[in-house]
Amino acid sequence: MGDALLQKEYTTDTVPFRKKRNHGEKAQYYVENSNPPIISWEVFQAAQRLQESRITVTRREHNSILSGILRCPDCGSTFRRQLLRGTVYWMCSDKAAGATKCKSRRVRENAVFDTFCLMAEKLASHRQDLLGTLIHQLGMMQNHGSESQEKIRQIDKQIADLSAQNLVVARLHTNGVLNATDFAAQSSVISNKINALRLDRKKALAEDEDDELIYTLKSLDDTLDGYVPGTPFSQALFEEIVQSITVVDNSRLTFHLVAGLAFTEQIPENARCRTA
Ligand SMILES: [Zn+2]
């Protein structure tokens, strides 16, 4: 048995831009076939944390929160920082290296910050229409709330019980109480039950994914609720809600936010780069 109960903390790639969070209820999760045993999962988690801290360090070294954030729509490369006559610009790194023929999309760093402020302002003022509607619709679609959490807990308990039964049966066989035929029959019944429960568990988990999306949207809604119109660029807000930015052309940026949301905003005219 290589299965294990684990605390929830992982990243999902099924829906973009979502990081799984432990809501604080410290629910345990049953992980199928976690062979080799649990220690490797802990090592894996430790490695992930290390990787995350490295990413943070890398960002700080470049001394800009835009490192790795701006993307070229032509080649997909991230943008590179350039200092020209006292002004900070960002440019497609492959283009800057002369490796591609991407359309020039040099963008001033301050223009990105200004455009972010415009986007955040609009998002905050249309918060109810945009996020409120989404949250409501998602809630209507699933209509099970925290039921899936409870369902998963129940299934985990049943699987744990059956696994314990399996152990007892195996011990009885080893001690000669159960003959080979009876042992095979009994373990097969238990295995079938466990397999059926695993399927149920997958379904419940899929429902929980929707809960997670609503949670992310609600956090975003909460954050924007506290947004004061006209506030200057906030690094904290930027880091909290922006996943990446596509530099569409010299007049537009597309902000990819948490929960898979994306908004395109015009760069203020006086902040645009005119040069080709
Ligand atoms: Zn490019």
Mean pLDDT of the chain: 79
Q: What spacing in Å lies between the alpha carbon of 240 and ligand 1's midpoint?
A: 26
What residues have CB less than 8 Å from 140, skipping those under 6 apart? none
Q: What percent of the chain has pLDDT over 70?
A: 74
CA angle 257, 122, 128 (to 5 degrees): 85
pLDDT in tens, 147-180: 777 888 899 999 999 999 989 999 999 999 889 9
Distance, in Å, from the CA atom of 211 to the CA atom of 188, rounded to the nearest integer, reads 35
Q: What spacing in Å lies between the alpha carbon of 246 and ligand 1's midpoint?
A: 11
Distance, in Å, from the CA atom of 239 to the CA atom of 244, rounded to the nearest integer, reads 10
Mean pLDDT for the stretch of residues 71-99: 91
Distance, in Å, from the CA atom of 186 to the CA atom of 162, rounded to the nearest integer, reads 11
Q: What spacing in Å lies between the alpha carbon of 263 and ligand 1's midpoint?
A: 21
Question: With contact defined as beta carbons under 8 Å apart, do 2 and 33 qualify?
Answer: yes
Q: What spacing in Å lies between the alpha carbon of 100 and ligand 1's midpoint?
A: 6
Q: What spacing in Å lies between the alpha carbon of 114 and ligand 1's midpoint?
A: 23
Q: What spacing in Å lies between the alpha carbon of 64 and ligand 1's midpoint?
A: 20
Please indicate whether residue 200 or residue 144 has the higher confidence score (pLDDT): 200
Q: What spacing in Å lies between the alpha carbon of 19 and ligand 1's midpoint?
A: 28
Parallel, antiparallel, or unpaired: how do β-strands 70-71 and 242-249 relate? parallel
Cα distances (Å, whole numbers) of residue 260 to 13, 18, 176, 202: 11, 8, 58, 23
Cis peptide before 36 (omega within 30 of 0): yes
Q: What spacing in Å lies between the alpha carbon of 73 and ligand 1's midpoint?
A: 7
Q: What spacing in Å lies between the alpha carbon of 103 and ligand 1's midpoint?
A: 7
| Residue 26: pLDDT over 50 | no
| Residue 256: pLDDT over 60 | yes
Distance, in Å, from the CA atom of 178 to the CA atom of 190, rounded to the nearest integer, reads 15
Q: What spacing in Å lies between the alpha carbon of 186 and ligand 1's midpoint?
A: 62
Task: Give the pLDDT score at 90.
Answer: 95
Q: What spacing in Å lies between the alpha carbon of 270 and ligand 1's midpoint?
A: 24
Q: What spacing in Å lies between the alpha carbon of 94 and ligand 1's midpoint?
A: 6
Helices 133-142 and 180-225 meet at what angle, rounded to 10? 160
Distance, in Å, from the CA atom of 47 to the CA atom of 107, rounded to the nearest integer, reads 35
Q: What spacing in Å lies between the alpha carbon of 214 and ligand 1's midpoint?
A: 34
Please indicate whether residue 92 or residue 210 has the higher confidence score (pLDDT): 92
Task: Give the pLDDT score at 30.
Answer: 39
Count Cα neighbours of 47 within 13 Å in the Cβ-side half-sphere.
6
Q: What spacing in Å lies between the alpha carbon of 97 and ligand 1's midpoint?
A: 10
Q: What spacing in Å lies between the alpha carbon of 70 and ligand 1's midpoint?
A: 11
DSSP 55: H
Q: What spacing in Å lies between the alpha carbon of 101 and ligand 1's midpoint?
A: 7
DSSP for 10-28 reads -EE-SSTTEE----SS--E
Per domain, the residue ranges of the chain are 4-271
Q: What spacing in Å lies between the alpha carbon of 102 and ligand 1's midpoint?
A: 5
Q: What spacing in Å lies between the alpha carbon of 250 and ligand 1's midpoint?
A: 13
Q: What spacing in Å lies between the alpha carbon of 140 and ligand 1's midpoint?
A: 41
pLDDT in tens, 31-77: 444 444 334 445 545 555 655 555 444 444 446 899 999 999 999 99
Please indicate whether residue 122 or residue 205 has the higher confidence score (pLDDT): 122
Parallel, antiparallel, or unpaired: how do β-strands 70-71 and 107-108 relate? unpaired
